[in-house]
A and B are shown apart, each in its own frame.
Chain A
Amino acid sequence: MTGPASVKELAEPFGIGLPGFLKHLRVLEESGLIATEKSGRIRTCRIRPKRLQEAETWLSEQRALWQAGADRLAAYVENQMTEDDSE
């Protein structure tokens, strides 16, 4: 399945009730990862690629912060701690 799809279509392969499935969708929507739109009795869902991209960007920024921390730790241990500190 690609592109926008209705809640009913999306729920089918999972074999769970619609109310339970809607709960999962709501989490994704609140996260901004999908958008939904209701027309008559049909709610259509679509992915928000920009938001997915942002989440990946956020994670790679976090990784950069942790890597920089490891680099600071290495620089500190290798250059600033004295031999006494290795006991």
Chain B
Amino acid sequence: MTEVSNELSISRLINAAPGKVWKAWSRPEHLARWWIPHPIECKVIKLDLRPGGGFETRMREGDGDFKPHVEACFLDVVPEQRLVWTTTLAEGWRPTEPWLALTAIITFAAEGNGTRYSARVMHKNAADSRKHEEMGFQEGWGTTIDQLAAFVEHLE
């Protein structure tokens, strides 16, 4: 039968040194500025950069309450090189039942005068993806593709 891949990879060359890109990821005040697309507001609750450290962001639209966005646990942290976190664990390696099981491997590599920023994201299974669609996951995680397009156009 057709194989269903549960894994995705993306990559982007950023015109800044790895140290600066790392800083944008590793300091809450910076992360909150780009992690979730506008106009959704992002609040960084935990960004404890060590194996077993908590990673939690919440989001809100307009004047509503902040809602869950990401709750995860760091597995590997190598400053200016690599960040690995999973939603299948919470702070201190505590097992959880996440609404989306994923492990993200994020790397920062010097390339020319810039940084090659890459993310490899592994999901649990296709059943998971459907469950989260049913839960309105697309809205929760960030945005629909239409909103995304509008956002990208706004950037340009």
Q: Check B129 against A58 for contact (C-beta < 8 Å).
A: yes
Is A73's CB under 8 angstroms from B10's CB? no
Q: Bound complex: CA of A75 vs CA of B155, how far in Å? A: 8
The smallest C-beta distance from A39 to any residue of chain B, in angstroms, reads: 21
Instruction: Give the docked Cα–Cα distance between A34 and B30 (Å).
Output: 45
For chain A, residues 60 to 87, give those with C-beta under 8 angstroms from any C-beta of chain B: 61-78, 80-81, 85-87
Q: Could you tell me the distance between the alpha carbons of A80 and B14 in the complex, rounded to whole angstroms?
A: 13
Most buried by B among A51, A56, A58, A62: A62
Determine which residue in A67, A74, A75 has the highest number of CB atoms from chain B within 10 A of its CB, and name it.
Answer: A74
How does the 8 Å CB contact mask read for B116-137 relative to A, with 1 for contact and 0 for none?
0101010101110110010000
In the complex, whether B37 has a CB less than 8 A from a CB of chain A is: yes
A side interface size, CB within 8 A: 37
Q: Are B121 and A31 in contact (CB under 8 A)?
A: no
Cβ contact within 8 Å between A47 and B2? yes
- Residues of B bordering A, CB below 8 Å: 1-2, 4-6, 8-17, 19-21, 23-25, 30, 33-35, 37, 117, 119, 121, 123, 125-127, 129-130, 133, 138, 141-143, 145, 148, 151-152, 155
When A76-B24, A76-B33, A81-B30 are in contact, do A65 and B6 touch as well, CB less than 8 Å?
A: no
Interchain CA distance A85-B24 in the complex, whole Å:
9
